[in-house]
Chains A and B, each alone.
Chain A
C-alpha cells in the first residue's frame, strides 16, 4: 500500500503538451479514477506512474520514493492493459505466475499463489488454456489475475473494461470493486466512461487538455461541478446548460426559461440543471411552459425532451408520475428549488 505523488509533472510529445504541470496526491488504499475525454492526458498520466512513459519534467513518487527515473520493474506496480496484453503463447497459469517467475520466484512457490488467485477470479477451470481460447471477459480476468499475483504497492488499470460488451462491463465493474475492497491496494484506474468512474471511484479526477479540472468524491463532483465542462461530462443524461441573464435572484433565458436562483447579478450566466431536477407541474405552479417533444421510456423512468422556443431541455420523469403526459402536449415546468447550478458565461466557472 502506498501513496502516489505528482509534483509539477509535465509531459510533452515534441511540441504537444500532453500533461501540464500536474500536482496530485493519490491516497493510500483508495480507488482513484482518472476520467476525461480522449486526449485529455489520463492514459499518459497512468503510463508515467508505470514508467512506460518518460516524464519531461517534475517528480513522481510512490510511497515517498522518487521513482521518476526508475524502470517499471523497480516501481513495484502492476498494470492491466486495455487490450489485456496477455502472453499469447503461454497458458493462463503461466501468464498469471509470469510476474512471480520474472522476479526470480520459484515455480513451486508460485503454484500456491496461482491457485489462490484463480479461485478469487473464478478461473480455476481455465488454467491450462491459451488466451486465444478464452472469451474477452475471461481474458480480462486473466489479465487481472496476473496483476494481483504479486502484491504490488499500486495497481494501474488502463481502460480495462472498454473492450467488453455492456453487460459484462457492469459485471466486471462490480467484481473489480469487490476485489479492491478485499485487497485494499492503492488503485489508479483510467476510463473515458463517466458512469464507470462514478461507480468505481473513491476519488474521482476529471481531466481535460492535460490539466485536472476537478478532484473529489464522485458525489461531490456530481453535486458541485467546478465548471460547465465537468457539469456536462459527469452524469447521464447530461446536465442541461442554458445561457441567460441572472438578475437579483431571477434567471431568464432568451427562450423564456425562468427560475429562481441565487441572488447574483445582474450578470450573464449559464444555468445548469440535472434532468432529474426538472419538475413537470400544473400551469399554475409553473415558472414557464414547454412543449413535450419526445418521450423515451426506460422502464421505471422516462427521458422527456422538452422544447421551449429554440431551446431543448432533457428531463427524467418517474413513469408512475407521468399521468397524461404525451408527445405534443404543453406542460408547466419548474426547476427543483436550490438544485440549479450557476456558471459565469465568460469563464464557464461555477459562481
Chain B
C-alpha cells in the first residue's frame, strides 16, 4: 500500500463508519418492512415502501408545507438581509457593535429559539399576545392559518443575520471602482443597485440562497418546540413527519423511504442551482 493511501486510510475508515454505514443501512431499511416493534418480522419488500410514500397524501402535504416554509422564509431572509447589509455597509460609527448585536440570533441553538417563541407567543401567557391584547388587537400566533407563518417568522428572525453576514462580506469584497464609475456616469442609486450591485453580487446571492434553502429544508426544532405539526397538520414539515413515522410510530422502513425520496428531490434542486452558479461565474 502506498504511503499516500495509508495516510488517507483513517479518514476513509471514519467516513465509512460514520456516513457510509448509516447511509447504506437506511437505504437497505427503506427496502424492507422494518418496524422497531417487530424487528423479527422484517422482510424485503422491494420498492413497496416508496410506493406507499408516493401514495401517502400526508407526505405530500408535509412536502408542500416545507416548500412554502423554505420559499417564503428564504425570500424574506434574502430581502431583509440585503436591505440590512446595504445599510450596514454605509454605517460609519459603532460598526462592530451593531454588527455583532445584529448577528446574535444566529448564535442561539434553534431548539432554544423554538422554546423562546413558544413562551413569547403563547396565546394564554405569552408576552406578545398580552401586549397586543392591551392595544386591542387579538392574534393567535399558533392558530389555524397563522401557525405556518409564525414558523416562517421565527426562521426569519433567527437566520436573516446569516444572510446579512454573507451579503455584507460580499458587498465589501466588491471592487469600488465600478461604483465610482457609475456615479460619474450619472447612475441614480436605484439604477446602480439594479444594474451594478445585484449583478456583481449575483454569485454570492446564489450561494446564500442555496445554503439557506438547504438549511431551511431541515426545519425540525421550531416545529418540535412549538406546534408539533399542528393545528392539524398545518405545520407538519417533511422532517417532522419523517421523524414521527420513524421514531414515534416505529416504522423505520417507511421513514427511510421518505428520507430517500426527499434526498433525491433535494439533489435535483442542488444540481440545478449549482449549474446556475457556474453560469453566473462564467459571465
Binding site for B on A (CB under 8 A): 50-52, 71-73, 77-79, 81, 83, 85-90, 98-99, 102-103, 130, 146, 150, 156
Q: Separation in Å of the A50 CB from the closest CB of chain B? A: 6
Contact A73 B181, beta carbon cutoff 8 Å: no
Contact A88 B182, beta carbon cutoff 8 Å: no
Contact B178 A87, beta carbon cutoff 8 Å: yes
Given contact pairs A83-B175, A88-B283, A102-B185, a sample of 10 additional A-B residue pairs in the complex whose CB atoms are under 8 Å apart:
A51-B184, A78-B184, A79-B180, A85-B175, A86-B181, A89-B200, A89-B202, A102-B186, A102-B195, A146-B181
Contact B187 A86, beta carbon cutoff 8 Å: no
A103 partner residues in chain B, CB cutoff 8 A: 186
Contact A81 B180, beta carbon cutoff 8 Å: yes
CA distance A87 to B185 in the complex (A): 12
Q: Separation in Å of the A178 CB from the closest CB of chain B? A: 23
Contact A73 B185, beta carbon cutoff 8 Å: yes
Contact B181 A87, beta carbon cutoff 8 Å: yes
CA distance A78 to B185 in the complex (A): 7
A52 partner residues in chain B, CB cutoff 8 A: 180, 183-184
Q: Does B196 contact A (CB under 8 A)?
A: yes
Contact A71 B183, beta carbon cutoff 8 Å: yes
A87 partner residues in chain B, CB cutoff 8 A: 178, 181-182, 195-196
Binding site for A on B (CB under 8 A): 175, 177-178, 180-188, 191, 195-196, 199-200, 202, 283
Contact B185 A146, beta carbon cutoff 8 Å: yes
Chain A to chain B contacts (Cβ below 8 Å), 21 pairs: A50-B184, A52-B184, A72-B180, A72-B184, A73-B184, A73-B188, A79-B180, A79-B181, A79-B184, A83-B177, A85-B180, A87-B195, A88-B200, A88-B283, A89-B199, A89-B200, A102-B182, A102-B185, A102-B186, A102-B187, A156-B184
Contact B283 A73, beta carbon cutoff 8 Å: no
CA distance A79 to B185 in the complex (A): 8
Q: Separation in Å of the B186 CB from the closest CB of chain A? A: 4
Closest A-chain residue to B191, C-beta based? A102
A79 partner residues in chain B, CB cutoff 8 A: 180-181, 184
CA distance A114 to B188 in the complex (A): 22
Q: Separation in Å of the A51 CB from the closest CB of chain B? A: 8
Contact B185 A81, beta carbon cutoff 8 Å: no
CA distance A102 to B194 in the complex (A): 11
Q: Separation in Å of the A86 CB from the closest CB of chain B? A: 7
Closest B-chain residue to A143, C-beta based? B181
Contact B186 A81, beta carbon cutoff 8 Å: no
A130 partner residues in chain B, CB cutoff 8 A: 283
Majority DSSP secondary structure for residues of A touching B = loop
B183 partner residues in chain A, CB cutoff 8 A: 51-52, 71-73
Q: Separation in Å of the A182 CB from the closest CB of chain B? A: 22
* Residue of B181, B196, B202 with most chain A CB atoms under a 10 A cut-off: B181
A86 partner residues in chain B, CB cutoff 8 A: 178, 181
Q: Pick from B178, B186, B187, B195: contact of A88, CB below 8 A.
A: B178
CA distance A52 to B177 in the complex (A): 11
Closest A-chain residue to B183, C-beta based? A72
Q: Separation in Å of the B134 CB from the closest CB of chain A? A: 47
CA distance A130 to B283 in the complex (A): 8
Contact B283 A99, beta carbon cutoff 8 Å: no
Q: Pick from B178, B188, B200, B283: contact of A85, CB below 8 A.
A: B178
A83 partner residues in chain B, CB cutoff 8 A: 175, 177
B175 partner residues in chain A, CB cutoff 8 A: 83, 85
Contact B185 A77, beta carbon cutoff 8 Å: no
B200 partner residues in chain A, CB cutoff 8 A: 88-89
A71 partner residues in chain B, CB cutoff 8 A: 183
B178 partner residues in chain A, CB cutoff 8 A: 85-88
B202 partner residues in chain A, CB cutoff 8 A: 89
B182 partner residues in chain A, CB cutoff 8 A: 87, 98, 102
Q: Pick from B180, B181, B283: contact of A89, CB below 8 A.
A: B283
B191 partner residues in chain A, CB cutoff 8 A: 102
B177 partner residues in chain A, CB cutoff 8 A: 81, 83, 85
B180 partner residues in chain A, CB cutoff 8 A: 52, 72, 79, 81, 85
CA distance A35 to B187 in the complex (A): 30
CA distance A44 to B205 in the complex (A): 34
Q: Separation in Å of the A132 CB from the closest CB of chain B? A: 9
Contact B186 A73, beta carbon cutoff 8 Å: yes
CA distance A86 to B188 in the complex (A): 17
CA distance A103 to B191 in the complex (A): 10
* Residue of B182, B185, B200, B283 with most chain A CB atoms under a 10 A cut-off: B185
CA distance A166 to B9 in the complex (A): 54
A72 partner residues in chain B, CB cutoff 8 A: 180, 183-184
CA distance A151 to B188 in the complex (A): 19
B186 partner residues in chain A, CB cutoff 8 A: 73, 99, 102-103, 150
Q: Separation in Å of the B191 CB from the closest CB of chain A? A: 6
Q: Separation in Å of the A95 CB from the closest CB of chain B? A: 9
A90 partner residues in chain B, CB cutoff 8 A: 195, 199
A78 partner residues in chain B, CB cutoff 8 A: 184-185
Closest 5 CB pairs of A and B: A85-B177, A102-B187, A99-B185, A73-B186, A85-B181
Closest A-chain residue to B196, C-beta based? A87
